[in-house]
Chain A
Amino acid sequence: MSLNLPQVLSQMQDMGRTAASRVEQLAIKLPEAVETFRRVSLMKPKHIQARIAHAGNRWPGAVPTQEPLDLLVSPPTLPDQLKVIGADGSQIYPDRHAPAFYFMINIGSIIIAHGSGKPPQTNSRPWIYYQDEDLYDQNDGAITNAVVDGWRDVAEMGELARLTDCCPGEPTLALLDNGLLLWLALQVQDSKHRTMDRILRAYFDHLDRIHQAGAALAGFVDRPRSTNVLALLHLANLPLEVINQETLRANPYRGLTDRMLFAQLLSPGQRSSRFTHASPVNRDFQASGHEVQFFYLNSGEEGQIVRVEIPCWVAEQPELLNWVHAGILEQCRSTGGFPYALIRAHELALISYAERRNLDQMLQRTWLNHGLLPRLSQKSRTKKWIGQRRRHRL
């Protein structure tokens, strides 16, 4: 036994005390944030825009759209027939200690024809990546887990595009279990920019196809920790002449999240006003015609606040926006606030431990059939020595 539980216990108690104290502080800050939200909602849009312009390119806030800041939209009517498509992915990261250097992406998807009563169509599609161009970047550096995540995001969007192509002219909602912005793009170093360009290009191609198919697209973010709207409240509350990086960092709402704020404002089924992401990545999306907007939604009866991201071409078409709003609520009706289609897509994508073990065995057999000796690294072999004690039984 290597984990010293008595030592953890004392730290755990400190952790509990800190959490309790944090809750007390947030309980004081939250009404202030709600009050500020109401006050900022009364400001003239041009005054808010002037402050945003002063905040600079790297300000991580939410930019209001044409909708009033304090808009609360009640659930629209669900169309009688709506195809809901969900896609999710899982991956096996490359492991230099394994017998082979490769990675795998498995995409699960489901098409639910709402209003048909028919069983949904389900898919599970795996891909193995093992060619040099898949595994090494332009500087011969081995692929990182973050880049694998990027390709997984592309594959998820590709699956949604493939399936929306199959539903031309039908009301269709394509759902992704994540935000739409590729956050990987914010994190890559310069040495990886060519890989990032390939990922972004492929991603935008898929977005184009979904747009052309006439489908609505939404990224569903459960329990979001984002603070973009709170950053907007702080900014809007500052006098124009004192806005600088230092005053922007002195955010009085630190610790709060947008989710906590909108839990005070949204009734079950209601969505908030739309906002635009003020991030450099979104400028790339904007240049490709897919600028990302978002709103918060109360998707359940117990204050389940989620963040829904949509491309601008969904935001600008009231019918598509209604499919997103009503479709997500319908999907969440029997699951406590998380879309059924995404639960099933996740289930269809998941690579279980047993499946991983079978895959490893299959790989070893393939290696042997080709006269190759599958060898684990010494480190990996020593890990197998430990943790598998056997008890003597009579």
Chain B
Amino acid sequence: MEEVHAMIGRVTRCSIRGFVGAVRLPEPDLPSFGAFCKAEAQQGHSQVIGLIYDISIEDDEFARQMATAESLSPEQFSDHQYNRQVPVEFSALAIGYQRDDQFHYNLPPQPPLTLAPIRALTPAERMAFTQRLDFIPLILSAPNLPVDDLLTAALRQAAQDRSGGERRRFLLQAGRECARLLDRDLSRLHVVVRGLAE
């Protein structure tokens, strides 16, 4: 059976380095930290692969007032959670792109366009993309991001798509690649490897 791509939002702003998407809360498949996603670019000829590194929900004065109210009714509570047009905003770091069924492990030639649908990668796509670990340098080189936690979350997710011995082999291979890239920063390497081992 063909795996279904769950749409998790639409692009609101973007650059070559990544994109930001928005989604309203009742969406069934909410994005999560470290999740792999993709957004259409180049008029559908390519898909930018992204890793979600931040999720934020904006507030306003009304939300703050209601948060401090002593007696919120269940209907008001669910109105704020499901109805009010306060989108969940998530940011994704570009870690490669897919064109002509080939994965490329560098920055995409063009960013996706505004309102391009953002979809979660299926387990099969995650498996295929993470066959090579060439996306790790793009994560480690991203400035001002929680890159160690992001890398750990992404690798653990990719490992979960694999079973038994294959999972163990993937984690060992990923650990070696991290050790190679972080050989001058042992404390960070320790954090990443410990995260993979948990």
Contact = CB atoms under 8 A, between A and B. Distances in A.
Interface stretch (A36-44, A112-120, A174-182, A253-261): A112-120
Interface string B77-94: 011011110000000000
A173 to B, nearest CB: 13
A340 B76 contact: yes
Interface of B: 62, 65-66, 69-76, 78-79, 81-84
Contacts of B73: 114, 330, 333-334
Nearest to A336: B65
A333 B73 CA distance: 9
Contacts of B82: 119
B79 A120 contact: yes
Contacts of A116: 75
Contacts of B72: 334
B71 A120 contact: no
Given A110-B79, A334-B66, A334-B73, 16 more contacts: A114-B73, A117-B75, A118-B78, A119-B78, A119-B81, A119-B83, A120-B78, A120-B83, A122-B79, A333-B73, A334-B69, A334-B71, A335-B66, A336-B65, A340-B76, A343-B62
Contact of A117 (B65, B71, B74): B74
Nearest to A334: B69
Interface in A263-301: none
A29 interface: no
B16 to A, nearest CB: 25
A70 interface: no
B66 A120 contact: no
Contact of B78 (A110, A117, A330, A333): A117
A343 B69 CA distance: 15
A119 B84 CA distance: 10
A77 to B, nearest CB: 16
25 contacts: A112-B75, A112-B76, A112-B79, A113-B75, A114-B73, A116-B75, A117-B74, A117-B78, A118-B75, A118-B78, A119-B78, A119-B79, A120-B75, A120-B78, A122-B79, A122-B83, A330-B73, A333-B71, A334-B66, A334-B71, A334-B72, A334-B76, A336-B65, A343-B62, A347-B62
Nearest to A115: B75
B76 to A, nearest CB: 6
Which of B72, B76, B83 counts the most A-chain CB atoms under 10 A from its CB?
B76
Given A114-B73, A117-B74, A335 B79 contact: no
A114 B74 CA distance: 8
A364 B69 CA distance: 45
A73 B189 CA distance: 72
A211 interface: no
A54 interface: no
Contact of A119 (B69, B71, B75): B75
Interface centre among A113, A117, A119 (most CB of B within 10 A): A119
Nearest to A124: B85
A330 B73 CA distance: 9
A183 to B, nearest CB: 29
A209 interface: no
Interface in A336-361: 336, 340, 343-344, 347
Contacts of B79: 110, 112, 119-120, 122, 344
A110 B69 CA distance: 20
Interface in A110-135: 110, 112-114, 116-120, 122
A119 B77 CA distance: 8
B83 to A, nearest CB: 5
Nearest to A117: B74
A112 to B, nearest CB: 5
Contacts of A110: 79
Listed residue (A110, A335, A336) with the most chain B CB atoms within 10 angstroms of its CB: A335
A79 to B, nearest CB: 14
Contacts of B81: 119
A29 B65 CA distance: 36
A120 B78 CA distance: 8
A97 to B, nearest CB: 31
Contacts of A330: 73
B13 to A, nearest CB: 15
Nearest to B68: A334
Contact of A114 (B66, B71, B75, B84): B75
Most buried by A among B72, B73, B84: B73
Contacts of A334: 66, 69-73, 76
B75 A335 contact: no
Nearest to B65: A335
Nearest to B80: A119
